[in-house]
Chain A
Amino acid sequence: MGRRNDDTFEAFVAARSHDLMRTAVLLTRDRGHAEDLLQTALAKAYGRWNRIDGDDPYPYVRRILVTTAASWRRLRVTQEIVALPTHDASTPDSTEVVAERDRMAAALATLPPRMRAVLVLRYTEDLSEAATAGMLGCSVHTVRSQTVRGLARLRAVLAAAAPSIAFEEC
């Protein structure tokens, strides 16, 4: 890998790592796992840096990030769920708002990995159904049905009802 590629890689990480880290945290619900996931994705991208199509490597790296998180890590025994840090006094949000977000993040973490990935891509990444389907390698229908079921599952969890079993279709 030449010097020019190292420079562009450095610039890319500086510019986009926060966006990628945010997605990684939402997918893993744990800072340590998120950093590991992000490094894994970036290392894969680094190895192919001069062969990535297009002007912006971001969609490619994000795709690696999401598929790595959603595809192979299908833990069945337990899934570590680590609480988000407590409210930081420097944030302008009210405690109630932060508590609400923490509840939402905790509820999101209870979803199966690919269902979680669908909701993260659709709502925090603001991707279309088609783009989400393309990234996860499944149909638009599956994205749509996973979205419907994911929202229903979130609703049940947030309402403190007994969690329902979610389909995992992708």
Chain B
Amino acid sequence: MTISDTELERGLRGLGSRIDHVYPAPADLARRTRERYRAQRRGRIAMATGVLVAALVVVGVPALTSTVLDGQGKAAAPTTGADPGRLPSLAELPTRGSLSNDRGWVDAVRLLPWSWTAVPGTTPEAPVDTRRVAFAGDVPGARVALVLGGDEEPAAAWFTGPLGASPEQMSLAAAPSDTIDQAPLALLDVPDPASESRTLVVVAWPGETASVVTGRSVDAAGKTSEQRRPVPMSLGVGAIMTDGPPPYPAQTQLWVDRTIPVRGSYNPTLTISARALAVGHPATEVADPRGLRGSVRADDLQATVAALAGYYGIPAEDLRPTLLAGGPVEPGSPHSTVLVGVTFPSGATTGALGIRWATTDDPSGSMFQVALTEVTPSGAALADRVFAVPASVPGGLALTISGPETATRVVVTGRDGATLAESGLARGAAVVRVSANPDGATLRFFDTAGALVATAPITGPVDR
């Protein structure tokens, strides 16, 4: 039996009262919180006076060349008030990187202004007396510094310059941004805009390892295998240069593995440098067998192709992209979609849906997003595959459909048999509004004579 959205929503609302009953908050929560806050504060003050943070010992680093010494020249004892269940802030750790011992350079970078005029409303400049340099060093193609500052969770400012740059040659790589407690930080930069190479810099905790997803191979059976490269790390920081299409989505291609305090893999908070964002890419040739190019935005089409190339790490031209469907979700609508299909070298196929919707959330007046779909084994050409990819746009839901070339009409039926949409097709393609969540729906395609030519389910998302 299908569970309706209304039933699910009712079930979720009912959870609140159940949780209230079985999980009351501790009676002494305010006291415990104050104690925790004061313990954290004591830890910060201890660090500010030069005591090596105890958690470096906790994470099992065998030796630190930059061990902070106390006034008598002996290694300082760990603080007794540290919480072993938490990592120290990155701002509390000693400066790391190849320039960490160049005190003059590090201190000069710490004083550099954080002015950033490109984006209004960005994170404000941290007071100089709160700043610490978390990383300073040469990485492949560039010199990089990470400065953290602020009273509570620090704000982060990445600076870049040419290899061997003086502090005065360093400039902000991007707008300063907030950090998240216990989240590693990373920078994606393109030191040479004329090349295809990107540099990733990771600043994590000692003992942690990192890897970057450089692509995915897809075999004839449609099985997808992730390809990774380890990031060379020392004391929890490292950098790597990679080639190939720009990664998509960039924020989730870099992983940091840790065991303390909670074992897991994390995506660092990624900053993309302004010069990396500014790199242009030549347009990819996209097949257009249905003559739809005039119905879709050229930049959305290219962005969708780039997303596929970036996710799989395969040059776009090797994927033989084909425009399958697209256009406004209804006549005159400011919201639109574009569906691109690709064929992997193995013969397996997949598709991606670019969705653009009008919104006041963004100064440009619209936003864009790409949804990747499931992979199908080789054996069926793109033109013979049926795609029906759902998208949420303001005011409801839409299906972007690519069906048999001979089909002129499609009927979308929900699990309960109700008709969710019925529409004409242009050479087998259309974008149609649906009246309800199409999860589990069935599409039936008919030709001009009314004969059923194909039946297909909703296309699923990519398995990632």
Contact = CB atoms under 8 A, between A and B. Distances in A.
B392 A145 contact: yes
B265 A124 contact: no
Contacts of B153: 44
Contacts of B20: 18, 22
Interface string A86-106: 001001010001101100110
B33 A46 contact: yes
B10 to A, nearest CB: 9
A20 B25 contact: yes
A152 B181 contact: no
Interface string A35-62: 1101110111011100000000000000
Given A42-B33, A123-B9, A167-B461, A152 B22 contact: no
Contacts of A97: 14
Nearest to B255: A76
Interface string B9-41: 101111110111111111001101110110011
B392 A88 contact: no
- Is chain B's binding surface mostly helix, strand, loop or mixed? mixed
Contacts of A139: 359, 361-362, 367
B433 to A, nearest CB: 14
A44 B22 CA distance: 26
A148 B440 CA distance: 13
B109 to A, nearest CB: 26
A13 interface: yes
A75 B462 contact: no
Contacts of A74: 264-267
A22 B392 contact: no
A115 to B, nearest CB: 12
B112 interface: no
B226 to A, nearest CB: 12
Nearest to A20: B25
Contacts, number: 182
B33 A91 contact: no
B464 interface: yes
B182 interface: yes
Contact of B264 (A17, A26, A39, A77): A77
A10 B28 CA distance: 10
A152 to B, nearest CB: 4
Contact of A76 (B19, B151, B264, B357): B264
Contacts of A25: 19, 23
Interface in A1-31: 6, 9-10, 13-14, 17-18, 20-22, 25-26, 31
Contacts of B371: 167
B394 interface: yes
Contact of A155 (B152, B264, B439): B439
B15 A104 contact: yes
A71 interface: yes
Contacts of A84: 18, 22
Nearest to B182: A72
Given A22-B19, A72-B183, A39 B29 contact: yes
Contact of A108 (B2, B12, B262, B267): B12
A138 to B, nearest CB: 9
Contacts of A47: 37, 41, 151-152
Nearest to B9: A123
Contact of A105 (B18, B265, B464): B18
B460 interface: yes
B30 A10 contact: yes
A68 B181 contact: yes
A140 B359 contact: yes
B2 A46 contact: no
A167 B370 CA distance: 11
A64 B8 CA distance: 27
A93 B15 CA distance: 12
A43 B181 contact: no
B180 interface: yes
B242 interface: no
Nearest to B1: A159
Interface of A: 6, 9-10, 13-14, 17-18, 20-22, 25-26, 31, 34-36, 38-40, 42-44, 46-48, 67-68, 71-78, 84-85, 88, 91, 93, 97-98, 100-101, 104-105, 108, 119-120, 122-124, 126, 133, 139-142, 144-145, 148, 151-152, 154-155, 158-159, 164-169
Given A22-B16, A100-B11, A141-B361, 10 more contacts: A26-B15, A43-B37, A43-B40, A74-B264, A101-B11, A133-B361, A142-B369, A145-B392, A151-B437, A165-B463
